[in-house]
Structure 1
């Protein structure tokens, strides 16, 4: 999951139903034999995630962090392998909102929601050479994506045209383009799209897939990990 799992301390004042949500989700996942892995977005409670990391001894952002037995957080810069393919997590994004400082003071957002230079350096140091990571999972998108063109006339706030948003996207780009990662999945902008970008000295084509929000079209993709590079297929969501 590409961010905004909306983790909070179970039963907090601002998200009083979160405990029930996690319990219900975990039960349904167990029923169907599934597991959720998520990166953090700007609507996650980062202090809560840091607390879980401390409790579980995850000091170097080098392990999955347990929320439930079938719900796991992938910290920024963490890499793992599924079916022979290498994944990297780089969550975090900047919140474009009115009264942002007031909302931070009220706990709606947190100061460390965005990708930091330290997060970027940690991720970059774990690339292991250009092209070794197959899939980058982020919340924000690389700077090479023409957001203003893709999102024109849809939702004004999705254009991402703020200095803070640009700074966050540049940090994502340093990992994505610098590492020659062929595929990036991200959330944040609530609009499904797919585009090819070219960056870096080799100028190899790289793909970026933006996910729709919640149950919107394009919010879920199936990855064929037997292919190289990894193939993706958008899934239709059908209500029972």
Structure 2
């Protein structure tokens, strides 16, 4: 039985790379792929709906189920609007037959290993995205004046107000369940982790990083996987009560990569299950390690 999970970084709607990852999953005997945000959930656009269909067909052919949490560039409000009434037996929202969404705060267990997902992050290009939405709206208004009957929706198409958790949202999620987990999956980094190259070291990013740090202190995971930074690194941070959490930051699809040492292998990690057995056997690493060759 294939119980391993291929954890993957940001895909940004890159269908070609998504299909390549599915082949990696097959080679690595992973029955599941889990993308830690910026998956490409843009079903308010035709290209986004087509992307979901392409990935779903490829996943079905590969015999793999694809899961994802929301990043700052995923329209999570639409995911809830479309799929809240269609959860599977594990509580994931069913977007397609082989495509599942993990809402913020969702918990589940695979092969005796407990997981939790906390999506969301702040966009450093918010101003650019809002300006582009405004330009699109202005062009639509000009066309209307010249007789066009089209009324395209422009607001909320490039920047999504729900992109990061609020403090109130996090309060409610942790009050509902604050029990520890083995594996924490997030889009954003915890504030304490220190990657060698940090494109999100900006004041507007700190509040959500602090929220993820609070999740770490509360749930005390053995390991945390995240994306968002587009860089591969490993760190170890304190999670309270004398415990430590290993942080694995994953890189992204090749088209969005920005650092010189990038390799496609930096964008994924094979998590062997049951994870608890690895820890007891001493095969899980607790110290920072080098990047894959």
TM range (shorter): 0.7 to 0.9
Q: Structure 2 CA distance, aligned partners of 1:54 and 1:33? A: 25
Q: Could you state the TM-score of these two structures normalised by the residue count of structure 2?
A: 0.67
Q: Structure 1 CA distance, aligned partners of 2:77 and 2:290? A: 33
* Matches for 1:1-240 after TM superposition, within 5 Å: 1-9=35-43, 12=45, 16-56=46-86, 63-97=91-125, 98-103=127-132, 105=155, 107-129=157-179, 132-147=180-195, 150-151=196-197, 158-200=198-240, 202-215=241-254, 216-228=264-276, 229=279, 231=284
Q: Which whole-Å deviations, capped at 9, do the CAs of 1:175-210 have from their partners, x for residues lacking one?
A: 11222111111011100111111142x131211100
Q: Structure 1 CA distance, aligned partners of 2:177 and 2:290? A: 27
Cα shift at 1:235: 11
Q: Structure 2 CA distance, aligned partners of 1:81 and 1:57? A: 16
Q: Structure 1 CA distance, aligned partners of 2:249 and 2:225? A: 6
- Partner SS state of residue 118, structure 1: helix
Cα shift at 1:20: 2.4
For CA contacts below 8 A with separation 6 or more, give which structure has more relative contact order. Answer: 2
Q: Alpha carbons of 1:25 and 1:235: their partners in 2 closer, same or farther (altered >3 Å)?
A: farther
Q: Alpha carbons of 1:49 and 1:204: their partners in 2 closer, same or farther (altered >3 Å)?
A: same
Whose radius of gyration is greater, 1 or 2? 2
Cα shift at 1:128: 4.4
C-alpha contact (below 8 Å) 1:220/1:234 kept by paired residues: no
- Partner SS state of residue 167, structure 1: helix
Q: Which whole-Å deviations, capped at 9, do the CAs of 1:216-239 have from their partners, x for residues lacking one?
A: 331111111234249489998xxx
Q: Structure 2 CA distance, aligned partners of 1:83 and 1:108? A: 38
Q: What's the counterpart of residue 155 of structure 1?
A: none
Q: Alpha carbons of 1:41 and 1:234: their partners in 2 closer, same or farther (altered >3 Å)?
A: farther
C-alpha contact (below 8 Å) 1:224/1:231 kept by paired residues: no
Cα shift at 1:92: 0.3
C-alpha contact (below 8 Å) 2:232/2:291 kept by paired residues: no
Q: Alpha carbons of 1:235 and 1:144: their partners in 2 closer, same or farther (altered >3 Å)?
A: closer
Structure 2 unaligned blocks of 5 or more: 1-34, 134-154, 255-263
Cα shift at 1:103: 4.9
CA RMSD of aligned residues (A): 2.7
Structure having the larger proportion of residues in helix: 2
What count of residue pairs does the alignment treat as equivalent?
219
